[in-house]
Structure 1
Amino acid sequence: MEGSPIPVLTVQTAPYEDQRPTGGGGLRRPTGLFESQRNYLPNFVQSVLSSIDLRDRQGCTMVVGSDGRYFSRTAIDVVVQMAAANGIGRLVIGQNGILSTPAVSCIIRKIKAAGGIILTASHCPGGPGGEFGVKFNVANGGGFCLHSCCCNFSSLEWCLLEHFWEVNFPHHHPPLPSIFSCTPFHGTNDFTSVKQLLYLLLFLLILFFMGPYVRRVLCDELGAPANSAINCIPLEDFGGQRPDPNLTYATTLLEAMRGGEYGFGAAFDADGDRYMILGQNGFFVNPSDSLAIIAANLPCIPYFHQIGIRGFGRSMPTSTALDRVAKSMKVPVYETPAGWRWFSNLMDSGRCSLCGEESFGTGSDHIREKDGLWAVLVWLSIMAARKQSVEEIVTEHWTKFGRHYYCRFDYEALDPRTAYFIMRDLEALITDKSFSNQQFAVGNNVYTVLKTDSFEYVDPVDGTVTKRQGLRIIFSDTSRLIFRLSASSNVRATLRIYAESYEKDPSKHNMEPQAVLSPLIAIALKISQIHERTSRKGPTVIT
């Protein structure tokens, strides 16, 4: 029997200028703003719902998930009550509110939902003093930038629901929302061979809220020992740790792997779309290398036997290691701005089968988000097929294709005006004609500038042009320096410097990346004057 209609309230509000999305289209701010500022979260949720055409919105299904961080439960209450008032017919919500970002993308596509709301701040810290965020994924499962929607309304639509887990939405039946226990489908891999590998391989995984997924897939389905997975219980503050899968923050995993007992290690971020791979004795796989190695070993993955390989994608700051693999396979590579939505366009048009970013994200066209657990399963499949360790696979790849020494230097929490002027002055310097062919001598190294630009992207699908996506300096020996302001931070700014140098000679593949890249780093610091202008002595994080 159809439930009784629930009254809809109209609440007056005022826009927040700082909610205009940048980068991937989501909102990421200190949790305190969401708790203390009146209608701060409802304003953004209303902008999400209003971005769906009214005709498509009425009676549609949406997916809601979170990474379990502090304030998620309160935020889900708000999303449900506003969705009810805005005509959404059904909400599919993760059990205990938890769904990973790749799982949300998977479910949207699987059930043909109108979109999904993901409550996450990704790799940023949780808890009352941490950060909170909201993302909106559209019907293809990929992210969406709301642009001007956030500041174009003055009221909110709201239903007052006290027990939303059991309520009937207005004029809809059956009861809504649905509670959905989900682990993402990863049928692209050969689980039989991975099972055989796991009987022989000791491995360790450091998790945050990804614990339920890993326990279900790797432990229950594939037989990995339960004690190989740590940090499995979702916590609102992630146990006081920062859920960022890199060598700076995943120190527990790094130290465990350095002991030599384990042959494989992996770490995930809070919403499960980023990952890090470590081999025995703490052997680190640079994420740019990981993407290139996966591309070179796609024949090990049954999924790609079926669909073929249409093309590869990488963000502009990601190293060009993927390009060398693509050239050997005669497969096109698309160089995009940072942000997954550019890859979604390519995949929807059938141009891209595998893509990734240097920020520890890799995915394929099975969904429209990067997928950390999928990438780990791919690595295990490659190891099972080749019967080699992580280090052996990586070093053989370098021998065949050469090694791309690569590092990223993050200067976090900068004054936004200072960061803006550093980038403005740097752009004026490197794009001046006098900078072309300039030589920089650092020790015994001489670097000649071949090309400089402010990167712009012309989307091959719809022809849209996106400008000012980072500053590039390319040298005659193919070395690169890239400067970019991050668009995913909160009210403080993050300036990133990327350095890359190619080495073909296998006898020079065992050097420390920072030692190899130190001349390039010296050039970057000299021309940007970032230490002098920020009073910093060095970067916050090096990856």
Structure 2
Amino acid sequence: MHTVTTRPIEGQKPGTSGLRKKTRVFMQPHYLENFVQSVFDSIGGAAGKTFVVGGDGRFFNDRAAQVILRMAAANGAAHVIVGQGALLSTPAASHLIRLNKTDGGLIMSASHNPGGEDEDFGIKFNGPNGGPAAEGLTDRIFARTKEIAEYKITDAQDIDLSRIGETALGDMKITVVDPVTDYAALMETLFDFDKIRAMIADGFRIRFDAMNAITGPYAIEIIENRLGAAEGSVVHGTPLPDFGGMHPDPNPTWAHELMDTMNGPDAPDFGAASDGDGDRNMIVGPNVYVSPSDSLAVLAANAHLAKGYTEGLAGVARSMPTSAAADRVAQKMGLPCYETPTGWKFFGNLMDDNRVTLCGEESFGTGSNHVREKDGVWAVLMWLNILAVRKMSVVEIMQDHWQTYGRNYYSRHDYEAIETDTANALVTDLRAKLPDLPGQTIQGRTIATADDYTYHDPVDGSVSEHQGIRVIFDDAARFVIRLSGTGTSGATLRLYLESLELDPANFDRDPQDALAGIIGAAEEIAGIKARTGRDGPDVTT
């Protein structure tokens, strides 16, 4: 072990899901080491502690894992549990942290961002509850990166992470585990595999697109091996450092191959996709796309059909930009419903306090209190469990849901890689307009309220400001604008649009048509196209 002199490197501020930069930035001398040491320093040191380490397999994942292990040993860690090949999906890492009662974990991923030497890499620390670090901790980590002067590392040969078993690095024990086994066992306790197996044996066909990312091994083991789906039901199932050139973001734009299949003449009965690190999901049926907001609402309404949730839900939570479809379910079922800022860490407090069981975000993330991360494979299995019990198709489930609760038409428009100053100026100018907006009539709708969302955590009393600009009309239609914290180039501006429809005669409209008035109002008020020079969004979901 030796101590290396270093100096602060600008820009190491963790976002909603850790630190994300271009891979070559992380490959610079001292860059990864500075951040990892700052994490250890900010949690009171690593001495005597146990951690989980793993990642989504993107380029630099294997090298970063070796650096983290050598630094953990030099900082006095007692034990590190690492996924075979340095691989772990984010929800599986969360489960291992909780299962083994460790002091946290370091997860290497840039989630749904592209991978490769010229693309993106990321790393985040998850706490002992298995969830992303709270804002207080990420603030301390960032503060430490701005003053760091040295880090500790051990000189050693690479640890063989290809073989399951125990080894050591100095006084630190290293346990290499199969990344899938414990997670798959957890899923069997939550869902009725027998019912799903019977449905599949009766001819039910599945297409799961793992997008050459981490969920491939999980989906093959669970969906094909344990549930009996035909070989080849999981496509793009081998994790690759560059995701095979795919953009591992499960939405209709990037998972277009799956969408073509599901909209084709011989579509399977059920389609799904997951992202780079396995915490997101997209659900589709033959000629029907299920928006993430609707998916959360359907799961909330039907979760009691899965064996791990038969006693009902403690409550439901959604991120503020997510549609209010889940609110309508919670109200009808007499459940508490919480609205939080974007970022799964905000759900962690509510779950730890037993206030909610189910959580979801419009950004293709859904999960429950079985871990403290959103969980793509879990969401797919919950859908399969519901379909097996109700014996209905995906489109029938959706139509029945809208008949019961109404339809919250919803869409998100992403304007990616905008010049940062332009994006910041747009948001600043819109924020200045907010006090004068209520009472104005735009596109035939009257604005009821307009604000910059502030969240007051009911568990720890913390306050999170500037979490998104909301403009809400008197018919409950609304749009939300916020800057994303998950990109690595320029700024991504997200526009969220929602309108409630209660007339069954209008449930089959195209969402963009149904939301045309809200889209026009948002442009009239915020001027996104005019300010950015864009003809329209880069991604529409």
- TM bucket, shorter chain: over 0.9
Which of 36, 60, 72 is equivalent to 1:45? 36
Which of 280, 285, 291 is equivalent to 1:279? 285
Query: Is 2:127 the counterpart of 1:138?
Result: yes
Gaps of 5+ in 2: 161-165
Alignment of structure 1 residues 159-198 onto 2, 5 Å: 159-165=154-160, 168-172=168-172, 175-183=173-181, 184=183, 185-186=186-187, 187-198=189-200
Query: Is 2:314 the counterpart of 1:310?
Result: yes
Q: Shift of residue 177 of structure 1?
A: 4.2
Alignment of structure 1 residues 472-483 onto 2, 5 Å: 472-483=470-481
Is the contact made by 1:315 and 1:356 (CA closer than 8 Å) also made in structure 2? yes
Counterpart Cα distance in 2 of 1:142 and 1:149: 21
Counterpart Cα distance in 1 of 2:538 and 2:11: 25
Instruction: Name the TM-score, length of structure 1 as normaliser.
Output: 0.94
Indicate the residue corresponding to 1:23 in structure 2: 16
Q: 334-343 or 486-495, which moves further after superposition?
A: 486-495
SS at match of 1:41: helix
Q: Shift of residue 152 of structure 1?
A: 3.1
Counterpart Cα distance in 2 of 1:467 and 1:181: 37
Counterpart Cα distance in 2 of 1:157 and 1:219: 44
What one-letter code is carried by the residue in structure 2 that aligns with 1:276? M
Is the contact made by 2:317 and 2:356 (CA closer than 8 Å) also made in structure 1? yes
Indicate the residue corresponding to 2:226 in structure 1: 221
* Distance verdict in 2 for CA 1:70–1:312, change over 3 Å: same
Deviations 1:332-358 (A, max 9, x none): 111000000000000001101100000
Give identity over the alignment, percent.
45
Counterpart Cα distance in 1 of 2:454 and 2:174: 44
Q: Shift of residue 180 of structure 1?
A: 3.7
Is the contact made by 1:361 and 1:370 (CA closer than 8 Å) also made in structure 2? yes
Alignment of structure 1 residues 41-440 onto 2, 5 Å: 41-54=32-45, 57-144=46-133, 145=135, 146-147=138-139, 148-165=143-160, 168-172=168-172, 175-183=173-181, 184=183, 185-186=186-187, 187-199=189-201, 200-207=203-210, 208-259=213-264, 260-281=266-287, 283-306=288-311, 308-429=312-433, 431-432=434-435, 434-440=436-442
SS at match of 1:318: coil
Deviations 1:431-453 (A, max 9, x none): 22x32111013xxxx10101111
Counterpart Cα distance in 2 of 1:49 and 1:161: 20
What one-letter code is carried by the residue in structure 2 that aligns with 1:158? I
Instruction: Name the TM-score, length of structure 2 as normaliser.
Output: 0.94
SS at match of 1:164: coil
Is the contact made by 1:23 and 1:487 (CA closer than 8 Å) also made in structure 2? yes
Q: Shift of residue 491 of structure 1?
A: 4.2
Deviations 1:311-370 (A, max 9, x none): 110000000000000000111111000000000000001101100000000000111000
Query: Is 2:6 the counterpart of 1:13?
Result: yes
Counterpart Cα distance in 1 of 2:75 and 2:33: 12
Q: 112-121 or 140-149, which moves further after superposition?
A: 140-149
Gaps of 5+ in 1: 1-7
Counterpart Cα distance in 1 of 2:85 and 2:177: 8
Counterpart Cα distance in 2 of 1:354 and 1:162: 44
Is the contact made by 1:447 and 1:475 (CA closer than 8 Å) also made in structure 2? yes
What one-letter code is carried by the residue in structure 2 that aligns with 1:41? L
Is the contact made by 2:180 and 2:217 (CA closer than 8 Å) also made in structure 1? no
* Distance verdict in 2 for CA 1:194–1:76, change over 3 Å: same
Q: Shift of residue 129 of structure 1?
A: 1.5
SS at match of 2:470: strand
Deviations 1:508-541 (A, max 9, x none): 0000000111111111112112222211111110
Q: Shift of residue 95 of structure 1?
A: 1.0
Is the contact made by 1:81 and 1:164 (CA closer than 8 Å) also made in structure 2? no
Which of 448, 457, 460 is equivalent to 2:458? 460
Is the contact made by 1:61 and 1:91 (CA closer than 8 Å) also made in structure 2? yes
Counterpart Cα distance in 1 of 2:471 and 2:63: 46
Deviations 1:455-512 (A, max 9, x none): 0000000111111100001101110110111112224111111110000011100000
Counterpart Cα distance in 2 of 1:346 and 1:193: 31
Counterpart Cα distance in 2 of 1:491 and 1:137: 24
Counterpart Cα distance in 1 of 2:158 and 2:60: 17
Deviations 1:366-420 (A, max 9, x none): 1100010000000000001100000000111001100010000001101111111
Counterpart Cα distance in 1 of 2:5 and 2:447: 56
Deviations 1:155-184 (A, max 9, x none): 010101113238633334xx5243444341
Deviations 1:134-169 (A, max 9, x none): 011010000014212332321010101113238633
Counterpart Cα distance in 1 of 2:296 and 2:144: 35
Counterpart Cα distance in 2 of 1:399 and 1:505: 9
SS at match of 1:363: strand
Counterpart Cα distance in 1 of 2:393 and 2:190: 21
SS at match of 1:377: helix
Is the contact made by 1:355 and 1:362 (CA closer than 8 Å) also made in structure 2? yes
What one-letter code is carried by the residue in structure 1 that aligns with 2:517? P
RMSD: 1.3
Indicate the residue corresponding to 2:163 in structure 1: none
Is the contact made by 1:89 and 1:169 (CA closer than 8 Å) also made in structure 2? no
SS at match of 1:487: coil
Q: Shift of residue 309 of structure 1?
A: 1.5
Is the contact made by 2:84 and 2:176 (CA closer than 8 Å) also made in structure 1? no
Is the contact made by 1:161 and 1:167 (CA closer than 8 Å) also made in structure 2? no
Q: Shift of residue 106 of structure 1?
A: 0.3
Counterpart Cα distance in 1 of 2:67 and 2:178: 18
Counterpart Cα distance in 1 of 2:488 and 2:267: 39
